[in-house]
Amino acid sequence: MAGQNCLVTNEWICGEYLRTRGHELTDATLQHIGITLASVAIGVLVAFPLALLARRWRAAAGPVLGLTTVLYTVPSLAMFSLLVPVFGLSVSVVVTGLVLYSLTVLVRNILAGLASVPEEAREAARGMGYGPLRLLFGVELPLALPALMAGLRIATVSTVSLTTVGAIIGYGGLGNLIYEGMHSYFKAQVLTASVLCVALAIVADLVLLLVQRLLTPWMRAGKQAKRRGRGAGGRPVTEGAL
């Protein structure tokens, strides 16, 4: 009885809400995940050639970085409103807006990752007969993965958060429930949807961190070698000590 009364008394934490509105939470969560995945995936596909263009032609670097920075400064409500006349009231408005926002982080991190590749590695690959494409995908991108994955993690977490703004046109995933709950002051709905949104961001970040570690085993090996090379008190082991 107490569980049922929490809906009547409009409490923040309410087990009955979870039981009776579980399907709504599931649908909203799945929509939120779908929009996030589509936006990040398209963002990577757009950012990658833009970053390569900016690296290949120095004259293009300024305009590319400047444009992506300007897009990021546009308020989300204004961005979605500007896209409505183009796409109508559809999920494409939200996805396009989120893609544009992700470009700033993704382009900059791709450029930073490629710039961090040692020139010696490039020269060695060229000496082994690597062409431009093989050099890029076989040497540069693997070595640039830490910076690339860092940018992807930031862009993903940011996208999970910004997806909620899509509630203004009815495609905000969990944001729809937060928006409706705020208008009706439905405490349990607002809190539950908000917690789920935060949980999605945390889980996404942890998953990408795990993927990064799986794709860069040499970084773990390097850290372990450094730890083995240090003696007691964190000082490097010298030949005299041996």
The reply to whether 65 falls in a domain is yes
Which of the two residues, 228 and 113, has the higher pLDDT score?
A: 113
CA 21/CA 147 separation, integer angstroms: 41
Residue 159: CATH number of its domain: 1.10.3720.10
Compute the average pLDDT of residues 27-46.
93
pLDDT reported for residue 241: 38
C-alpha distances (whole Å) from 154 to each of 51, 133, 166, 195 are 17, 27, 19, 19
Secondary structure in 3-state letters for 158-190:
HHHHHHHHHHHHCCCCHHHHHHHHHHHCCHHHH
Contacts of 87 (CB under 8 A, 6+ apart): 93, 96
Number of domains into which the chain is organized: 1
Q: What is the pTM of this model?
A: 0.80
The reply to whether 131 falls in a domain is yes
Count helices and strands (H / E) in the chain: 12, 0
Q: Phi-psi region for residue 223, left (φ > 0), alpha (ψ -120 to 50) or beta?
A: alpha
The reply to whether 230 falls in a domain is no
Q: Which of 69-73, 212-216, 226-230 has the lowest mean pLDDT?
A: 226-230
Confidence grade of residue 1 (pLDDT, cut at 50, 70, 90): very low
Taking residue 216's Cβ as centre, other Cβ atoms within 10 Å add up to 16
The reply to whether 166 falls in a domain is yes
Which of the two residues, 197 and 218, has the higher pLDDT score?
A: 197
What SS3 class is residue 218?
A: helix
What SS3 class is residue 10?
A: coil
Q: Which residue has the tokens 């398209």?
A: 42
pLDDT reported for residue 198: 93
The reply to whether 205 falls in a domain is yes
Domain residues for the domain of 120 are 11-216
The reply to whether 241 falls in a domain is no
The reply to whether 227 falls in a domain is no
Which of the two residues, 60 and 112, has the higher pLDDT score?
A: 112
